[in-house]
Structure 1
């Protein structure tokens, strides 16, 4: 009997995050709870909630990916997952440090954005005051 694997694609809005053709099983968190996918599972779709996606492949073994909300579609041996953001493709231990790095970078971007907005507001107020003084 020939072994059949799942073909997993994880899509982000701007890129393909992951594509694997030798996936044995997948587990995701949906709005209805945790679901596992094997090659023989019936076709379906489900809404994903932010959480940890687990997959096992022949080439990489067990891997974990933190995902934001999205959708999963299984059709035959194809599984397509579309999410807003994903971090990882690592072991569970490595995933925490990757998430921490991503959050730190996001915090730095927020601080920089607030600084830019504050400068724009200050410049706007100065220009309004100059117009009032003229």
Structure 2
């Protein structure tokens, strides 16, 4: 692998790309702690935990992201990050507020979805139970 002064970074959500561009440095957090990646870092894969992700673009100020759990893959001069949820913040203070608002709303939606799914499953079980009964009991 050739020496490089930048790497291509992609931060992907399930439905869209949160960040894409050349970067000179990245700081992320795995279960065993925070780590940094420079363009010539060794290739690896790791699971990310909910945390702050810092990306230093080539010619721009450091970008701050609040991320949920996900995966990071470093291969060559490309870093691919896939997370369930993530938000961009102007700085750490605004990020704290944004994460609190967005993730709390998402958790409420997930709870409502799980409740609806549970009701649907219970209804299916009741319907299957009536199919198994002999006709004279119905």
Indicate whether the TM-score tops 0.5: yes
Shift of the 35–102 alpha-carbon distance from structure 1 to 2, 3 Å rule, reads: same
Alignment-derived partner of residue 94 in structure 1: 94
Alpha-carbon shift at residue 80 of structure 1 (Å): 0.2
Alignment RMSD: 2.8
- Cα distance in 2 for residues equivalent to 1:51 and 1:44: 19
Shift of the 93–4 alpha-carbon distance from structure 1 to 2, 3 Å rule, reads: same
Query: What stretches of structure 1 of length at least 5 have no aligned partner?
Result: 121-134
Shift of the 100–77 alpha-carbon distance from structure 1 to 2, 3 Å rule, reads: same
Alignment-derived partner of residue 30 in structure 1: 30
**TM-score, normalising length from structure 1?**
0.72
**TM-score, normalising length from structure 2?**
0.70
Higher strand share: 1
Report how many residues are paired: 116
Alignment-derived partner of residue 16 in structure 2: 15
Alpha-carbon shift at residue 28 of structure 1 (Å): 0.5
Query: What stretches of structure 2 of length at least 5 have no aligned partner?
Result: 120-138
Alpha-carbon shift at residue 88 of structure 1 (Å): 1.6
